[in-house]
Amino acid sequence: MKRIDGRKPDEMREMSAKAGIIPRADGSGYFQIGNTIAYAAVYGPRNLYPRFLQDPQKGILRVNYNMMPFSSKGERVRPGGNRRSKELGLVIEKSLLPVVNLYEFPNAVVDVFVELPQTDAGTRCAGICAAAIALADAGIPMRDLVAAVSAGKAGDTVILDLNYEEDSAEEGADIPVAMTGRSKEITLLQMDGRMTAEDLRKAVQLCRKGISQIIAVQQKALQEKYAP
Amino acid sequence: MGTLLVSEKTVVVPGQELATGMDYLPGFGAYRDGEHIVASQLGLLSVEGRAIKIIPLSGKYIPKNDDTVIAQVVDITLHGWRLEINSAYSAMLTLKDATSDFIARDADLTAYFNFGDWIVAGVANVTTQKLIDLTMKGPGLRKLGEGMIVRVGPSKIPRIIGKGGSMVSMIKEYTGCRIIVGQNGVLWIQGSPEGEMLAAKTIKEIEQHAHRSGLTERIKEFLGQFPKPEAVPLPPEEERPHRERRPFDPNRRPMRRSGGFR
């Protein structure tokens, strides 16, 4: 079976990644998968105000997700936050939290800004991949890298890395999965749509394979920044 | 028997397995997970005997005891000065650690260090909550006069200093500048305008190539491209905080004793 864009069911879109591309940030990452592009900039650890947000035991991770006005396929995205962007910021934050060691920065904050200049489904996954690169580039202590990709269904087949057409199809499902690079622990699992338990297992297995490939791309991006 | 999975001096990434076996021990930037030693920081791999550690290539300044830092006064309180040290946390310089002069209860502290003043100070103590105490007691710790402030990534400071200070002394020698390097990534340069500009440019060059080997040679070449700036006499180094001393008066009122009712 071939997909709309000619891919095999378990084939991901073309990927590329870069580290340290935003000079004024403490760390930054770029991740592109197909027509979805995500930039992430990390600032901090830095002072956190208002003070009631401070945690004297550990630092705080704060993720801001933003789709640029011209980024979407259809209408212009109204600038500024909305319900969706707030949720996705939170989702990205929760999927990164298990790997970062914030106990070294009590009362401080690490800010991550995820910006999407071009989108074609899978933005939260691309955002997670870019943010993981940016955090590592910023020298934040991390147990592992994190990568994410989505799986779904087209007809009876379980497919990996949905594009916009596959994602918005009437039938089928969309399952974003984030995993740590080495131990393959799941840090994010969401589902939109319907799927049998059997297919879900298959989808997670597909994502697991895809994530291994993404981790390799992320590692290469980080190492290339310091290539001689 | 343990094996090293990555060769020394290569760039490693968080989550990368560095070695297997119980023979190796995890140092800074690494942790043990069962049989493996795994990186928890982006940096260069360094093996010292059995210990595996990572030399970070990026990251903000994390204060450590006995570091020398260049700090700027941002607030003056009843007990001393609050200073910005280019980290997530600000530091405190108490009156006691600032000077051995007697300071009257109602003295004007700006006479010692005013808002915006730059000083070289030592880190006296860092608590788990990252409350930082600075001290001015130590050789070379002082208020800084006219000069130029340059900021670099704190992880690049060892390369700027060089082995035994070789790199920084080369720049000092060539540019005729006085340079003080703070562990927090702040540098102070004093010299002729041309000298200061060249020194700043050279430091930025080092920062850009900090992860490469053969850096001293490269910088020597870099400096050679520019004419040696003319040496100018520098102002005296010691800029001690001073207070006006009253001339001795043999008939003055005896000093009040402390304690009890007044």
- Whether A69 and chain B come into contact, CB under 8 Å, resolves to no
Average pLDDT of chain A?
95
Q: Using the beta-carbon criterion (under 8 Å), do A105 and B88 form an inter-chain contact?
A: yes
Mean per-residue pLDDT, A4-9: 93
pLDDT of residue A227: 80
This model of the complex carries an ipTM of 0.90
The DSSP element (H or E) to which B202 belongs, if any, is: helix B193-208
Tell me the pLDDT tens digit for each residue of B129-171: 999 999 999 888 999 988 999 999 999 999 999 999 999 999 9
Q: Which of A167, A176, A181 is nearest to A204 (CA)?
A: A176
Q: How many beta-carbon pairs under 8 angstroms link A with B?
A: 88
pLDDT of residue B262: 46
Whole-number pLDDT of residue A221? 97
Burial of B152 (0-12, 13-18, 19+ CB in 10 A): buried
Q: Where residue B197 falls among pLDDT bands split at 50, 70, 90?
A: very high
In the predicted structure, residue B48 carries a pLDDT above the cut 80: yes
Interface check for A44 against chain B (CB to CB < 8 A): the answer is yes
- Give CA–CA dist A130/B124, Å, rounded: 39
Per-residue pLDDT of B1-37, as tens digits, reads 689 999 988 999 999 999 999 999 999 999 999 999 9
β B68-76/B80-84 pair status: antiparallel
For CA atoms A132, A138, A139, A140, the dihedral sign is negative
Q: How far is CA B140 from CA A86, B101, B134, B196, in A?
A: 51, 18, 14, 20
Query: How far is Cα B109 from Cα B82, in angstroms, rounded to an integer?
Result: 12
- Please state, as a whole number, how many other Cβ atoms lie within 10 Å of the Cβ of residue B234: 16
Decide if pLDDT at B244 tops 60.
no
Partner residue facing B58 (CB), from A46, A56, A137:
A137
Give A183 to chain B, closest Cα distance, Å.
9
Contact across the interface for A143 and B155, Cβ inside 8 Å: no
Residue B89 at interface with chain A, using a CB cutoff of 8 Å: yes
Q: Which residue of A has its CA nearest to B39?
A: A143
What sign results for the dihedral spanned by CA atoms B154, B159, B161, B167?
negative
Q: Inform me whether the C-beta atom of residue A17 falls under 8 Å from chain B C-beta atoms.
A: no
d(CA A94, nearest CA chain B) in Å: 18
C-alpha B71: how far from its chain's center? Answer: 9
Predicted pLDDT at B117: 94
Q: Select from A140, A215, A223 the Cβ nearest to the Cβ of B11.
A: A223
Q: Is A61 on the interface with B (CB under 8 A)?
A: no
Residue type, B248: F
DSSP one-letter code for A100: B
Strands A157-160 and A146-154, sheet pairing: antiparallel
Domains parsed from chain B with CATH numbers = 3-56 (2.40.50.100), 68-135 (2.40.50.140), 148-224 (3.30.1370.10)
Comparing alpha-carbon positions, the chain A residue that sits nearest to B15 is: A144
In the structure encoding, which two tokens stand for residue A13, read together? Answer: 């879109």
The nearest alpha carbon in chain B to A138 belongs to: B59
Its sign, for the CA torsion A5, A8, A12, A14, is negative
Of the candidates A106, A108, A144, which has its C-beta nearest B15's C-beta? A144
Over residues A91-137, the pLDDT tens digits come to 999 999 999 999 999 999 999 999 999 999 999 999 999 999 999 99
CATH of the structural domain A15-222, one choice from 3.30.230.70, 1.10.150.120, 2.60.40.10, 3.30.420.60: 3.30.230.70
Contact A30, A114 (CB under 8 A): no
Query: Could you tell me what percent of chain B has a pLDDT over 70?
Result: 91
What pLDDT does residue B184 have?
96
pLDDT for residue A189 is more than 70: yes
Sequence-ordered alpha helix ranges (H) in A74-185: 83-96, 123-137, 164-167
**Which of B27, B25, B33 is CA-nearest to residue B17?**
B33
Query: What is the C-alpha separation between A123 and A16, in angstroms, rounded?
Result: 15
